[in-house]
Amino acid sequence: MKAEHLSDHEIQRYAFDSLECKTDVIEHMSSCSLCKKRVESYLALSNSIQDLPEPQLAFDLSNRVLTQLETTAGKRSILNYFIYSLIALGLVVIISCLFYSAGVLIDLFKSYSGISLTLVVSVALLISFGITADMLRSYNKKINMLNY
Amino acid sequence: MIKTQEDREDLAQEVYLKVFDKLASFKFNSKLSTWVGTITYNTCLKFLEKKKIPILDVTNKEGAESWDMLESKALGSDYSPIESYIFKKESGQVLASEIEKLPPLYKTIITLYHNEEMSYREIGEITNLPEGTLKNYLYRARKQLRESLLLNYNIEDL
């Protein structure tokens, strides 16, 4: 057991990170009233800080931020139009390809036997389920992260 | 971290606009509040750097010695325990004003740890400080706060 009084560092460690304290520090604390008072004093300080009221802004922040956002909204909408146009173009290309190659695809499926077709469809469904499950897991994780 | 109300207002606005702009780059590697805290901390750091305000002052050795003297006097005396007087709720105003006088970094970590009740890991993510360094700063911040509280009170009045 420590004979001399604990240092300020050890006192604070005992008060706030007690799991990291050495055995001799814990033993000293069980018998030293002066060090106990110092620990209590730090804990009282901690409680007082916790009891302090939350700082308040003296103005309407959301109003100011929303006003600023409105000025940048125009620039954003142009970017959004560009993104939506690209998506629409992509969809048109995919639908056109499907439309023009529909005959080839139907012939391809017809040439497969029932068993191989079932196998292909089953594998495709399994992959889809896997991807969906992964997306759901990722979505839930993100929602938990946002829940502060 | 920021002393004047006017600068606080400007920075709060700047932080929210930055959050809105960078929201798409949020990778969900941490809590949203921690991410917003990091942006806030970095914005304030840049501001302080621009104004050439140090975020940490060198500890005053003389103050530490006088604290030891005051502490042994107070704790060893027959008077009521110091915390019952200095840290009682009625003196919250004094405590708030003493916290305000701390260096910006100390003020930030004291607030995040005791007010916001954040873990060392979360504070480390915001301030980009390793856990060991953070704990050391927190110990020094609390010590400095207690010193200034005691030194600004007349110990004989306790």
Whether residue B8 lies within 8 A of chain A, CB to CB, comes out as yes
Interface contact flag, A45 B142, Cβ < 8 Å: yes
* Element (DSSP H or E) covering residue A2: none
What is the pLDDT at residue A2?
65
Provide the shortest C-alpha distance from residue A26 to chain B (in Å). 19
Residue B96 makes CB contacts below 8 A (sequence gap 6+) with: A52
In this structure, whether the domain defined by B61-157 belongs to CATH 1.10.10.10 is answered with yes
Find the closest chain A residue to B99 by CA distance: A49
Interface contact flag, B145 A141, Cβ < 8 Å: no
User: How much is the pTM?
Assistant: 0.67
What sign results for the dihedral spanned by CA atoms B139, B140, B143, B144? negative
pLDDT confidence bin for B61, thresholds 50/70/90: very low
Read off the tokens for A35.
Answer: 């060090």
Query: Is there a contact between A29 and A39 (Cβ–Cβ < 8 Å)?
Result: yes
The ipTM estimated for the assembled molecules is 0.74
Read off the tokens for B46.
Answer: 């840049």
Interface contact flag, A148 B32, Cβ < 8 Å: yes
The pLDDT of A78-84, averaged and rounded, is 85
Residue B17 makes CB contacts below 8 A (sequence gap 6+) with: A65, A68, A69
Q: Which of residues 75-104 of B touch A (CB under 8 A)?
A: 75-76, 81-84, 87-89, 91-92, 95-96, 99
**In this predicted model, what pLDDT tens digit does every residue of B118-151 receive, in sequence order?**
999 999 999 999 999 999 999 999 999 988 888 7
Cα angle, residue A51 at apex, residues A48 and A56 outer, rounded to 5°: 125
- Least confident span in A133-137, B82-86, B151-155: B82-86
**Between these two residues, A26 and A112, which has the higher pLDDT value?**
A26
Report chain B residues whose CB lies below 8 A from the CB of A142.
28
Domain boundaries, chain B: 5-50, 61-157
**Between these two residues, A27 and A88, which has the higher pLDDT value?**
A88
Read off the tokens for B158.
Answer: 């306790």
Query: pLDDT exceeding 70 applies to what percent of chain B?
Result: 74
Domain boundaries, chain A: 8-51, 113-148
pLDDT confidence bin for A71, thresholds 50/70/90: low
Q: What is the mean pLDDT of chain B?
A: 78
Query: Is there a contact between B70 and B117 (Cβ–Cβ < 8 Å)?
Result: no
Find the closest chain A residue to B77 by CA distance: A34
- Identify the DSSP state of B81: P
What is the pLDDT at residue B82?
55
What is the pLDDT at residue B22?
84
What sign results for the dihedral spanned by CA atoms B8, B10, B11, B15? positive
The answer to whether residue B23 scores a pLDDT higher than 50 is: yes
What is the pLDDT at residue A147?
61
What is the pLDDT at residue B65?
45
In angstroms, rounded to a whole number, what is the distance separating the alpha carbons of residues B108 and B102? 9
Query: Is there a contact between A142 and B28 (Cβ–Cβ < 8 Å)?
Result: yes
3-state DSSP helix/strand/coil % of chain B, to nearest 5: 75, 0, 25
Whether residue B46 lies within 8 A of chain A, CB to CB, comes out as no
Among all chains, which residue has been given the structure tokens 């030293």?
A32
What is the pLDDT at residue B155?
45
Cα angle, residue B76 at apex, residues B75 and B82 outer, rounded to 5°: 25
C-alpha distances in Å from residue A113, one per residue of A102, A108, A109, A121: 19, 11, 8, 12
Q: Which of residues 128-147 of A touch B (CB under 8 A)?
A: 141-142, 145-146
**In this predicted model, what pLDDT tens digit does every residue of A96-130 receive, in sequence order?**
998 888 888 788 777 777 788 888 889 999 999 99
The pLDDT of A82-105, averaged and rounded, is 91
Query: Is there a contact between A5 and A35 (Cβ–Cβ < 8 Å)?
Result: yes
B128 torsion bin: left (phi>0), alpha (psi -120 to 50), beta (else): left
Whether residue B11 lies within 8 A of chain A, CB to CB, comes out as no
Query: pLDDT exceeding 70 applies to what percent of chain A?
Result: 91
The pLDDT of A47-75, averaged and rounded, is 78
